């Protein structure tokens, strides 16, 4: 079982949100790199235009997904419009 998180973009956000995202991104990336060493994040990435389409990540446990979100600099800086966590049971070939 995996857990998928979605960071939804604010459809009414001021275009300057990208400036804040770029400013905070180095801290988010450093946090991600350190977190990934524990092996609990499988994949992570943005959709086409992260400012309007958001991003997603796949974690190996619910606890890992929640822990990552709680301390993610994007969350701590109030840059996530809406967070969504879903249980995912993929078919593996």
Between 43 and 13, whose confidence is greater?
A: 43
Q: What is the pLDDT of residues 34-92, one digit of tens each?
A: 999 999 999 999 999 887 889 999 999 999 999 999 999 999 999 999 999 999 999 98
- Residues 6+ away with beta carbon under 8 Å from 23: none
pLDDT at 26: 98
Confidence of residue 15 (pLDDT cuts 50, 70, 90): confident
Residue 11, pLDDT above cutoff 90: no
Q: What is the CA radius of gyration of the chain?
A: 13
Q: What is the pTM of this model?
A: 0.91
pLDDT at 60: 97
What is the distance between the alpha carbons of residues 50 and 65, in angstroms, rounded to a whole number? 19
pLDDT at 83: 98
Does domain 2-88 correspond to CATH entry 3.10.105.10? no
The side-by-side arrangement of strands in the sheet containing 82-88 is 41-46, 55-59, 2-8, 82-88
Q: What ranges do the domains of the chain cover?
A: 2-88
């Amino acid at each position: 079982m995996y857990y998928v998180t979605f960071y939804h973009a604010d459809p009414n956000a001021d275009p300057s949100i990208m400036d804040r995202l770029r400013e905070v991104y180095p801290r988010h990336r450093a946090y991600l790199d350190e977190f990934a060493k524990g092996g609990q994040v499988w994949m992570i990435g943005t959709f086409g235009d992260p400012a309007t389409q958001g991003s997603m990540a796949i974690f190996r446990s619910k606890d890992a997904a929640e822990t990552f979100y709680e301390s993610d600099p994007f969350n701590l800086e109030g840059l996530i419009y809406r967070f969504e966590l879903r249980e995912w049971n993929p078919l593996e070939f």
